[in-house]
Amino acid sequence: MTAFTRFSDEKITEKGFVFAPDITAVMDDSLISDPMANPFAGLRKGGVAVVNTTRQSASVLPGRDDVSVVTVDLTGQALKILGKPILSSGIAAAVARISGIRKEALLTALSEELGDIGLSADMVAKNVSFADVIYGELGPLGLKTEELPTTEELVPLAVVVSDGGIEKVTNTGNSFARHTGNWRTFRPTIDYAKCTNCMICYAYCPESAMSVDRDGRVRIDYDNCKGCMICMTECPLRAVTQSREVGVQ
């Protein structure tokens, strides 16, 4: 999923997709190597890449020495302060800090906005302190950016319609090719000493990421488990435990 924000002292008329951002914030570092995501496409020369990761900045974005890279462990701080991996306030704080928005303006806006959507006063306060911490971790960066040259050209209709273009997927069942295990924030583990193989987790898993091995035992398919932890919630014997996981490949 991608989302865009524009702010300016002048009236903004353009909406939607930002082709050449000054700042690109990546909320999950597994997206960096995903060719479909390609999150840094168009990031301006002199721009800033903010990445939620536990990795060091140097390893995040090789091959772009014309941009600054800021890494911050948003998920870690969110778990510590909010108790859940909800990152919005933290990333807002990071972008505000980098672009020179005052802290008071950020925190006031956050309280107003989160209050408006019906969050409890306690949760609003926690989000404000989450933002405060992230804001304090980072320094301001002077943004002096320049659009990258593009080789973009229009193609005439004749080029578009040349092959008949009937939408179809002949290579069906190809979702196996796409592993979603790198979405995990938490990793479920089955304690087979406690597990009675009652198959409740198998029935409840919304991703069909519980499979059964040759011996009839339930096994977690870590290539595709997204770490929703429904198995842990549903297990009547508390045989599933969770642990924080970073850098899932």
Partner 1 sequence: MKGKLLTGNVAAAAGAMLARVDYVPAYPITPQTEIIETIADWVREGKMDSRFVQLESEHSMMTAAGAASLAGARVFTATSSQGMLYTIEMLYNVSGWRAPMLLANVSRGVAAPIVLEPDHNDVLAARDSGFLQFHSETCQEVTDLVLLAYRVAEDKRVMLPAIVNLDGFYLSFTREPVVLPEQKLVDRFLPPYEPVSPMRASKPVSRGSSVFEGFLYSYFRYNQHGAALKAKQVFNQAAREFEDLFGRSYGPVEGYMLEDADYVLVMSNSFTGLGRQAVKRMRERGVKAGLLKLVMVRPFPAEEIAALLRGRKVVGVFDQNLAPGAGGILYPEVAGALYNLRGRPGAILPIVGALGGKQTTAKEMAAVFEEMIAIDKGKTPAPLFLMRGDEMTRVKKMIAVAEGRS
Contacts 24+ apart (CB under 8 A), 225-228: 225/180, 225/181, 225/184, 225/187, 225/188, 226/180, 226/181, 226/183, 226/184, 227/183, 227/184, 227/185, 227/186, 227/187, 227/188
CB of 218 to partner 1, least distance (A): 31
Minimum CB distance to partner 1, residue 169 (Å): 4
Residue 65 in tokens:
């020495």
Taking the least distance from each CB to partner 1, the nearer of 17 and 65 is: 17
* The residue type at 100: G
C-alpha 118/C-alpha 199 separation (Å) is 38
Closest approach of partner 1 to the CB of residue 137, in Å: 26
Shortest distance (Å) from residue 79 CB to partner 1 = 27
Q: How many C-beta atoms surround the C-beta of residue 15 within 10 A?
A: 8
Binding residues vs partner 1 (CB under 8 A): 12-17, 19, 113, 150, 152-157, 159-160, 167-171, 174
56 or 174: CB nearest partner 1: 174
Q: Which residue, 11 or 238, is less far from partner 1 as judged by CB?
A: 11
CA–CA gap between residue 224 and residue 235 (Å, rounded): 20
Taking the C-alpha atoms of residue 220 and residue 195, their distance in angstroms, rounded to an integer, is: 13
Q: In the bound complex, what is the minimum distance in angstroms from residue 37's beta carbon to partner 1?
A: 13
Closer residue to partner 1 (CB): 167 or 215? 167
Residue type, 19: F
Output 111 or 241, the one with its CB closest to partner 1.
111
